[in-house]
Amino acid sequence: MKFGIATFPEKAIQDFANSYRKRYDPNYALIPPHITLKEPFELEEGMLPQAVEHLEQTAQETAPFNIHFHKISSFHPTNNVVYIAVEKVDEINRLHEKINRGHLHHESGYKFIPHITIGQKLPQDELLDVYGSLRMLEVDMNSWVDRFHLLYQLENGSWTIYQSFLLRG
């Protein structure tokens, strides 16, 4: 089964992100706006209890924290993605590192950059046009992170929550 780990921002931020995602993100209907804490990975069902135990331990050791979204950015030219950037926050980086240990460790092809995708798989011209206009937006939003979610992918490609983990550190 394919799993992923993410946290969802507060509703106002999701609404802001969705106002762009419905037009620029083909995954709009598959998952709400989120910050990926661990990119999608395969996990055999027999390994699920150990993964859940690891995530429970991680949540126990991690205190809730605030994150600040401060601008629109892009991964261009590496990827044609436009996103809402999270201002450097050590807590979210530490949470990502803790999650990606033990049974859930794997090398990633990308450096972890916390963000909410608002546009992806855009043709080059459209990407440059969209990013050119959106980067002028003033972004100043905060969200409280007090939980993360183990998600699994359904046959239709959409993602649903398997289990949520409350930060209690």
Residue 134: pLDDT above 90?
yes
| Distance in angstroms (rounded) separating the CA atoms of residues 127 and 119 | 8
pTM > 0.85: yes
pLDDT at 109: 78
- Digit-coded pLDDT (tens) for 70-85: 999 999 988 999 999 9
The SS3 of residue 104 is helix
Confidence of residue 110 (pLDDT cuts 50, 70, 90): confident
88 pLDDT more than 90: no
pLDDT band at 143 (very low <50, low <70, confident <90, very high): very high
Confidence at 105, pLDDT banded by 50, 70, 90:
confident
Measured in whole angstroms, the distance separating CA 132 from the mean position of its chain's CA atoms is 23
pLDDT in tens, 38-53: 999 999 989 999 999 9
Cα gap 26→29, rounded to integer Å = 8
**Of 123, 49, 117, which Cα lies nearest the Cα of 83?**
117
Give the number of other Cβ atoms within 10 Å of residue 123's Cβ.
Answer: 9
Active site residues: 34, 115
Burial 22-41 (b: 16+ CB within 10 A, else e): eebbeebeebbbbbbbbeeb
What is the share, in percent, of the chain residues with pLDDT greater than 90? 90
* Cα–Cα distance for residue pair 21/30, rounded to 1 Å: 11
